[in-house]
Structure 1
Amino acid sequence: MENGKNFQLDEDQHEQLNYLEMEKKKMTDEFNSQRAKMKELFLQKEGELLKKIEENNILVDQITKLKNELDDTKSQLVVDSIRLESDFEVEKRKAEEEIASLQRLVHETIEESSSTRSLYDQELTKLQSYIQYLQKEIEHLKIENSQYQQQNTNQEHSLAPSVVINACKGFAKKLGADAFGSSDEKNTEKTQEDVELLRSLVEPLEDQIKALKEKLRATDEQLQKCKECSHLIMEPGRSTVQTSERMILHNTSTNTSFDMQKSDNLICDMCSNYETQLVKEQQNVAELKNKLQKAEKAAERHKEELIKEIGFRKEMEEKWSEKREEHKQQVAELTKITDCTEQDLKELKQYFNEATKEIKTELSKLTKERERIYQELDKLQKENEHLVGKYTIHSQQLQSEVINLPNTVEELHELVLKNHQDLIIAKIGKEQAEEKVNNLESSFLLLRDQMELNIQERQAIEHSLEQEIKNLRHADKLERERREFVAKNVDVTENEGKIMELETRIKELESEKGELKTRVYSLQQELQTTETVQRDFVRLSQSLQVQLEKIREESDTQVRWQHEEDVDECPNCRNQFSTSKKKQHCKHCGQIFCQNCLTRSVQSGPNLRPSKVCDVCHTMLVKSSAPYFSKEPPMT
C-alpha cells in the first residue's frame, strides 16, 4: 500500500513538474515573442523618427529658401520703388525746367513786343511831329510866296530858308540819332533764339526807317544846295532882320527884277519838292502803320500760341501730378505690404524658432527615452538569457539528476508550495513586463500624435509662407508687366513706323513679283512654243528621212506612179480599199491613198488648178502650213 501510494505521489509530482515546465516554456515563448514584437516596434518607431527628422530638415531647407526668396523680392521691390521715385523726380525736374523756360520765353516775348511797340509809337510820334512841322513850314512858305508875288517893287522881303533848313536838319539829325540809338539798343537786347520771329517782323520796318532817314538826308542836301543858290543870288551887304516865331528872316536886297524872278522860281520848286516828299512820307507812315498792325497781330497770334502751350503744359503738369499721386499710392501700398510681410516673417521666424526648440526638446526626450528603452531591452535580454541559461542548466540538472521525490507527504507538499510560489513570481514578472510594454506603446503613440501635430503646424506655416510669396510674386509680376507695357508702347510706336516702311516695301516687292511672274509666264510660253517647234522639226526631219529612204528604195525598183491593181490598202492608215470605189492618186508623189488621207489640195500649174496631195507632199509643197503631224503652223 505504501509503495503504491509513493508511486502515485511520484507520478503526481512528475505530472506537476511537467505542467510547470510547460507553463514555464509557454511563458518564455510568450516573453520572447513579446520581446521580438517590442524590438520590431522599437525599430519601426526609430525608422519613423528618422524619417520625421529628415522631413523636418527638408522643411527647414525649404523655409530658408523661401526666406531667401522673400528677401530677394523685398530687395527687388525696394530697388524698383527707388528707381520709380528717381525717374519720377527726373521727369518732374524736366517738366519744371521746360515750364520755367516757356514762362521766361513768354515774358521775354511780351517784353520784346511791348518794347518794340513803344519804340514804334515813339518813332510814329516823332515822324508825325516832323510831318506837322514840315506842313507848317510849307504853309508858311506858301504865304510868303503869295506875299512876295504881290509885291512889285524892290521890297526886301524874301524867304531865308537857311534857318529853316538848319532847324529841319538839326531835327532830322536828332531824329536819326534817336532812331539809330533805339535800333542799337534793340539789337543788343535781342539775344534769345525765340525772339527771331519778332526780329524778322521788325527788320523790314527798320529798313523802312533807314530809307526814310536816307530820304531825309537827301532833302537836307537839297536844302543845303538851295541855301547855296540863295546865297549866290542874294547880294552881299544886306543885313538880316529879327527872326519871328516861325524862324523867318527878312533880308534886304537890291536885286534886279530878273534876279527876283529867279529866286521866286527856286522857292516854288522847293515848295513842290517839299509837297512830294510830304506825300511820300505820309505813304511811308501809312505803310509803317500797316506793318505795325501786322506785327501786333503776329505778336498776338504768338501770344495765343504761347497761352495754348502754357495750357498744354498745365494739363501735362496735372497729368504728371495725378501719375505721381498714383505712384505714391502704389508705393505706399507696396510699403504696407512689405511691412506686413516683414511682420509676418518675424512672427513666423519666432514661431519657427519656438517650434524648432520644442522639436529639439522632444527629440532630446525621445533620444533619452530610446536610450532608456535600449537599456531596459538589454536588461530584459540579459535577464532572459540568464533565465534561459538557468532553465537549461536546471533542465539539464533535472534530466541528469535522479528524481528524488520526498518520501513523506509533508515534504512533497512543501515542494508543491515552493513550485507554486515560483509560478506566482513568474506570473508577476510577466505582468510587469506586459505593463512596461503597454507603457512603451502609449508613449510611442503620444510621441506620434505630437509629431503629427508638429507636422500639421509646419504645413500651415508653409502654406501661409507660400501664400505670402505668391502675393509678392504677383505684385512683382504686375510691376514688371507695367514696365513691359510702357516699353512696349514705345516699341509699338517704333514698330508702326517700321511696319509702314515694310508695307510699302512689300507692295513694291509684290509689284516686282507680279512683273516677274508675267515675265516668267511669257518666257515659259516662248519656251514651250520653241520646244514644240523643235519637236515638230525633229519629227518632220525623221519622217522626211523615212519617206526619202522609202522613195529611194522604191525608185530603184518601181516608178513613182502606182497602178490601182498593185495597191490594196492605204499606206497611211492601212485601211483596205473597197472594190466599188475608184482609187485616188496623190498628184505629186503618185501613190494611192484613201479619201480620208487625201483631203489636202495644192494649186498647181499656170491656171492654179487644185490638185489633191497627201499630207507629206502638202507639207513639202506649202511652206507656210503646219507639218502633217502637227496642228499649228510653225513659228516664224
Structure 2
Amino acid sequence: MYSDVWKQLKEEKKVRLELEKELELQIGMKTEMEIAMKLLEKDTHEKQDTLVALRQQLEEVKAINLQMFHKVQSAESCLQQKDEAITSFKEKNNQVMSSMKQMEERLQLSERARRGAEERSHKLQQELGGRTCALQQQLSQLHEQCSSLEKELKSEKEQRQALQRELQQEKDTSSLLRAELQQVEGLKKELRELQDEKAELQKVCDEQEQALQEMGLHLSQSKLKMEDIKEVNKALKGHTWLKDDEATHCKQCEKEFSISRRKHHCRHCGHIFCNTCSSNELALPSYPRPVRVCDSCHTLLLQRCSSTGS
C-alpha cells in the first residue's frame, strides 16, 4: 500500500508540474495578448487623430472652394457688364458714323448748288452785258444766295467739326473700351487659372476622401483582427499559436506573403497559411460557429468525423 501511495503521489506531482507549465504558458500568452491589445489601441488612437486632422484639412479645402466660387461669379458678372457697355458704345459709334455720312452728303449738295449758281451768274454776265441793272439785282440776289449758302456751309462745317469732335471722343471711349477689354481678357485668363486651381483642389479633396476611406477600412480590419485575437485567446488549448512576424511564407504552398496574399491562422493547429490553403471552415469544439482551418486539418477532421460516425 505504501508503494502504491508513493506511485500515486509521484503521478500527482508529475501532473501538477505539467499543469504549472501549462499555466505559465497561458500566463505568458495572456501577457503577450495584452501587449498586442495595448499596441492596437495606441494605433487606433493615432489613426483617429489623423482622421480628425484630415477632416480639418477637408473643411479648409471646402472653404477655399467656396471662396473661389464667389470670385468666379463676381468675375463673370463684371465681364457681362463690360460686354454690355462695349455693345452700347459700338451702337453709338455706328449712329455717329451714319450722321457723319448724312452731313457729308448735305455738304456735297450745297457745294454743287454754289457751283451751279456761280456758273449761272457767269453765264448771265456774258449774255446780258447791257442789262447791268437787272444783272446787278440778280447778282445781288445771287450774292445774297451765295452768302446764305456760305452761311449754311459755315454752319455745316461747324456741325461737321462738332461731329468730328464727337467722333474723336467716341474713338477715345473706344480706346478706353479696348483697354477695358484687355483687362477683361486678363480677368478671363485669371478665371481660367482659378478654375484650374479649383480642379487641383478638387483632386486633392478627392484624394483626401479616398485616404479617409482607406483609413476607415484599415480601422475596421484592425477591429476585426482584435476580435479574432480575443476569440483565439479564449479558444486556445495547448496548441502553439504562431505570431504574424514569425511567418513569411505559407506553411503548405510556401508562397511568400504580400499585400495581396494575406496571412490567416488555422484555428485548429495555430499555423499561418494563405487564403487558398485555408479557405475551408469547420465547427470546432472550442468555437460556437464554423471557423477557418487549413486544408490538412480539414481533411484530418473530416476523417475523424467519418471514423467516429462509423
- Classify the TM-score, shorter chain: 0.5 to 0.7
The counterpart of 1:52, out of the listed 50, 53, 57, is 50
| Residues in 2 aligned to 1:133 and 1:91: alpha-carbon distance in whole angstroms | 62
The counterpart of 1:132, out of the listed 129, 133, 136, is 129
> 1:43 aligned to 2:41?
yes
| Residues in 1 aligned to 2:102 and 2:135: alpha-carbon distance in whole angstroms | 38
* SS across alignment from 1:132: coil
How far 1:118 sits from its partner (Å)? 4.5
Alignment of 1:14-413 (within 5 A): 24=24, 28=27, 38-115=36-113, 117-118=114-115, 120-121=117-118, 124=121, 128=125, 132-134=129-131, 278=133, 281=134, 284-285=137-138, 287-288=140-141, 290-292=143-145, 294-295=147-148, 297-380=150-233, 382=234
Paired letter, 2:97: I
| Residues in 1 aligned to 2:46 and 2:84: alpha-carbon distance in whole angstroms | 56
Length-normalised TM-score, structure 1? 0.30
Paired letter, 1:302: S
| Residues in 2 aligned to 1:434 and 1:106: alpha-carbon distance in whole angstroms | 100
How far 1:372 sits from its partner (Å)? 0.6
Deviations along 1:43-85, one digit per CA (max 9) or x if unpaired, are 3433443343344345444434543443443344334323312
| Residues in 1 aligned to 2:82 and 2:32: alpha-carbon distance in whole angstroms | 73
Aligned to 1:488: none
Q: Please provide the CA RMSD for this pair.
A: 4.4
| Residues in 1 aligned to 2:118 and 2:143: alpha-carbon distance in whole angstroms | 13
Paired letter, 2:161: K
How far 1:319 sits from its partner (Å)? 2.4
How far 1:294 sits from its partner (Å)? 3.5
| Residues in 2 aligned to 1:59 and 1:351: alpha-carbon distance in whole angstroms | 10
Aligned-residue identity in percent:
10
Q: 2:110·2:149 contact (CA, 8 Å) conserved in 1?
A: no
Alignment of 1:462-477 (within 5 A): none
How far 1:95 sits from its partner (Å)? 1.5
Aligned to 1:458: none
| Residues in 2 aligned to 1:63 and 1:330: alpha-carbon distance in whole angstroms | 29
Alignment of 1:615-626 (within 5 A): none
* SS across alignment from 1:366: helix
How far 1:94 sits from its partner (Å)? 1.1
Deviations along 1:510-555, one digit per CA (max 9) or x if unpaired, are xxxxxxxxxxxxxxxxxxxxxxxxxxxxxxxxxxxxxxxxxxxxxx
Q: 2:47·2:215 contact (CA, 8 Å) conserved in 1?
A: no
The structure with higher relative contact order (CA 8 Å, sep 6+) is 2
Q: 2:40·2:222 contact (CA, 8 Å) conserved in 1?
A: no
* Runs (5+) with no aligned partner, structure 1: 1-5, 136-277, 388-424, 437-636
Deviations along 1:175-234, one digit per CA (max 9) or x if unpaired, are xxxxxxxxxxxxxxxxxxxxxxxxxxxxxxxxxxxxxxxxxxxxxxxxxxxxxxxxxxxx
How far 1:326 sits from its partner (Å)? 2.2
Aligned to 1:214: none
Deviations along 1:15-50, one digit per CA (max 9) or x if unpaired, are xx8xx79x949x94x776665555444334334433
Paired letter, 1:50: Q
| Residues in 1 aligned to 2:193 and 2:245: alpha-carbon distance in whole angstroms | 53
Q: 2:103·2:160 contact (CA, 8 Å) conserved in 1?
A: no
Length-normalised TM-score, structure 2? 0.55
* Runs (5+) with no aligned partner, structure 2: 1-5, 247-310
| Residues in 2 aligned to 1:336 and 1:65: alpha-carbon distance in whole angstroms | 23
Paired letter, 1:99: M
Q: 2:107·2:153 contact (CA, 8 Å) conserved in 1?
A: no
Cα separation, partners in 2 of 1:134 and 1:338, compared to 1, 3 Å = closer
Deviations along 1:586-617, one digit per CA (max 9) or x if unpaired, are xxxxxxxxxxxxxxxxxxxxxxxxxxxxxxxx
Q: 1:74·1:338 contact (CA, 8 Å) conserved in 2?
A: yes
How far 1:86 sits from its partner (Å)? 2.5
| Residues in 2 aligned to 1:68 and 1:340: alpha-carbon distance in whole angstroms | 16
| Residues in 2 aligned to 1:53 and 1:362: alpha-carbon distance in whole angstroms | 8
| Residues in 1 aligned to 2:245 and 2:129: alpha-carbon distance in whole angstroms | 141
Q: Which shows bigger deviation, 350-359 or 330-339?
A: 350-359
* Residue correspondences, number: 231
How far 1:93 sits from its partner (Å)? 1.3
How far 1:331 sits from its partner (Å)? 3.0
Q: 1:95·1:317 contact (CA, 8 Å) conserved in 2?
A: yes
